Amino acid sequence: MNRQTKLLSFTVMFAAVNFVVFTYAKINIPLPGGSAVAIHVANAVVVLSAWLIGPVYGGLAGAVGLSIADILDPIYIVSAPKTFFLKFMIGFIAGTIAQKMGLHKTDDPKTITKITALSAIAGLGFNVIFEPVISYLYRRFILRTGAEAAAILTTWLGGVTAFNAVVCVFVSILLYRALYKRFRTMMPL
């Protein structure tokens, strides 16, 4: 199998894993107005995929998988467009930083932990900042939610997004440490 076929196969596989993790392993927190926020570790899979298959393909895997999950869930369907952008950016940022820092060139556990931690914090940190901002603007100007309601919903979302980010940093590092050696033999970057 050539490299491009492997990349596409792994992209689809990671998109499916993202879909499954978000759809079946989340804790919904209902909010007023029929919306919800979720505690989940799907963003850890986005970061992991970016480290293993690269920033563009990993970002696309997260964007596609989690956008499909949103589209198929009546609670989150209106979030799908922003989900696509935000999840792509999480993967792209984490993957690009990891590549620039030489993640694929080292086997030293301390170096791997440092690079994965810094790149995960950067990608997920982007999401912690921009998810609430984009969600507020999206609710306010596209969904036409009142300013106070949009602010309240955004406050809840910001707290849950920050909590998810902290958990996902640790989960993504643990998953990478468990998988990277095997993955390097299948898909060298």
Integer CA distances (angstroms), 158 to 21, 98, 132, in order: 21, 26, 5
Residues 6+ apart with CB under 8 A from 40: 21, 22, 25, 26, 27, 164
Q: What is the pLDDT of residue 77?
A: 93
Instruction: Please say if the pLDDT value at position 33 is more than 80.
Output: no
What's the Cα-to-Cα distance from 163 to each of 41, 145, 156, rounded to whole Å? 10, 25, 11
| Whole-number pLDDT of residue 53 | 96
The domain limits of the chain are: 3-186
Q: What is the pLDDT of residue 169?
A: 99
* Fold (topology level) of 3-186: Arp2/3 complex 21 kDa subunit ARPC3 (1.10.1760)
Residue 164 has pLDDT above 70, yes or no: yes
**Mean predicted confidence (pLDDT) in 47-63:** 98
pLDDT at res. 39: 96
Q: What pLDDT score does 188 carry? A: 63
Mean pLDDT over each residue of the chain, to the nearest integer: 95
Residues 76-124: tens digit of each pLDDT: 998 999 999 999 999 999 999 999 999 999 999 999 999 999 999 999 9
Q: What is the pLDDT of residue 56?
A: 98
